[in-house]
Amino acid sequence: MECHVGVIKGDGIGPEIVAEAKKVLDKIGGKYGHTFRYEEILMGGCSIDATGVPLTDEAIAAAKASDAVLMGSIGGNTTTSPWYKLAPELRPEAGLLKLRKSLNLFANLRPAYLYEELKEACPLREDIIGDGFDMMIMRELTGGLYFGARETKEVDGAMTAVDTLTYNEHEIRRIARRGFDIAMKRKKKVTSVDKANVLDSSRLWRKIVEEVAKDYPQVVLEHMLVDNCAMQLVKNPAQFDVILTENMFGDILSDEASMVTGSIGMLSSASLNDTKFGLYEPSGGSAPDIAGQGIANPIATILSAAMMLRYTFDLDKEADAVEQAVRQVLKDGYRTIDIMPQEEEKRLTVKQVGTGEMGDLICARI
Ligand code: NAD
């Protein structure tokens, strides 16, 4: 297969971690007979330096023309970088928001997986962790409370603020379909999270999700109220496969789920639209504090590339090979600085490696 991948290296550790993900993709290409053709796209602080804006129209066109975009991360030190003296619409993050909007990326996917070898980074009790957990938070990204009409005005002498949570059935149906499609590639269970005991938007959400479920008889659907879901994530995370939810609930629950895995450098993410296109990026930021030192953990970006193989190119076997290689490298005792054990005694049982070496070690296990 010939795969046209737009590559946004971005700022800070972005170029370092993206280089390792490309290395892994090329290894997959060589082994399984695929060609990855990369096209560099400027976005973020590096685009501001080169063009004066965080995302040009040419960059948007190049992203649209790609099958998928692999991204590092953008932005700098928000206190000291001159990028943050610019007007908000000219700052690095404005480029990412504009790209998401231009590509209509309405579905955000964030896996939360606990690696046996990194269990001690998980803040949950051993008996709760059990054999670990493997869930996918699917969050609606372009509707709901963050995009509804809002205003602040004086009403009867008191300052009053209003935010509006709006969803129409088409928005719910398209994200629900995506959620069930993803569940079909996993353990075939969807937990739809809402607040249907209070909110009209949630009652419509539940109705449409149930309609969509009829087309996926192999998938088990359950509904859960958002407050209960927040508790269940720390009480029994292993019960979940795909968590399907609206924008604000997903914003909060996905951070909670990633926290219980313990390490930001391990967490991948994808944003999808209603074609096979996706934007794949690590959940963390550009980590300006460690940029250029060759110590950043490239695994989140490598796992994002695995998501790209699975969800844009339908190359499940190849995605499995990358994920298996990551598990093996951890089993073999290799760690980047961010996932080194805290206890001195345990540190002696593993070996600390840099960004490039971690990429090489993963390639060697594919
Ligand atoms: P951050 O995620 O960049 O860093 C938080 C901490 O985690 C730092 O100590 C950093 O060293 C560490 N860390 C992050 N990724 C790591 C990795 N791969 N390996 C090892 N350690 C890692 O968050 P921040 O410091 O709040 O933000 C820095 C910049 O990143 C800001 O400009 C912010 O706006 C931007 N940002 C960008 C994105 C994105 O591109 N999607 C997302 C979040 C933040």
Give me the mean pLDDT over the 123-134 stretch: 92
Q: How far apart are the first and last CA of the chain?
A: 18
Residue 312 Cβ < 6 Å to ligand 1? no
Is-contact 288 300, C-beta < 8 A? Answer: no
Q: Work out the pLDDT band at 270, boundaries 50, 70, 90.
A: very high
Per the structure block, which two tokens stand in for 127?
Answer: 């008996």
Query: Which residue has the least CA distance to atom 23 on ligand 1?
Result: 285
Q: Is the predicted pLDDT of residue 263 greater than 80, yes or no?
A: no
Measured from the CA of 76, which atom of ligand 1 is nearest?
32
289 lines ligand 1 (CB under 6 A): yes
Where are the alpha helices (H) located in 141-214, listed in sequence order?
169-184, 200-213
Shortest-distance atom of ligand 1 to CA 284: 2
Confidence band, pLDDT 50/70/90 cuts, at residue 243: very high
Q: Which atom of ligand 1 is the closest one to the Cα of 72?
A: 40
290 lines ligand 1 (CB under 6 A): yes
Q: Give the full edge-to-edge strand order of the sheet including 220-225.
A: 35-40, 2-10, 68-73, 278-282, 268-272, 107-113, 134-140, 242-245, 189-194, 220-225
Distance CA 117, CA 322 (A): 17
Distance CA(178)–CA(184), nearest Å, equals 10
The H or E element spanning position 138 is strand 134-140
Q: For ligand 1, atom 36, which residue shows the shortest CA distance?
A: 285
Question: Does residue 316 have an active-site annotation?
Answer: no
How far are the Cα atoms of 133, 141, 169, 301 from residue 186, in angstroms, in the given order? 13, 22, 26, 21
Q: Considering the entire predicted model, what is its pTM?
A: 0.92
Asked whether residue 147 carries a pLDDT value surpassing 90, the answer given is no
Separation CA 304–CA 37 (nearest Å)? 17
The one-letter amino acid code at 336 reads T
pLDDT surpassing 90 at residue 137: yes
pLDDT at 181 over 90: yes
76-87: average pLDDT: 96
Mean pLDDT of the chain: 95
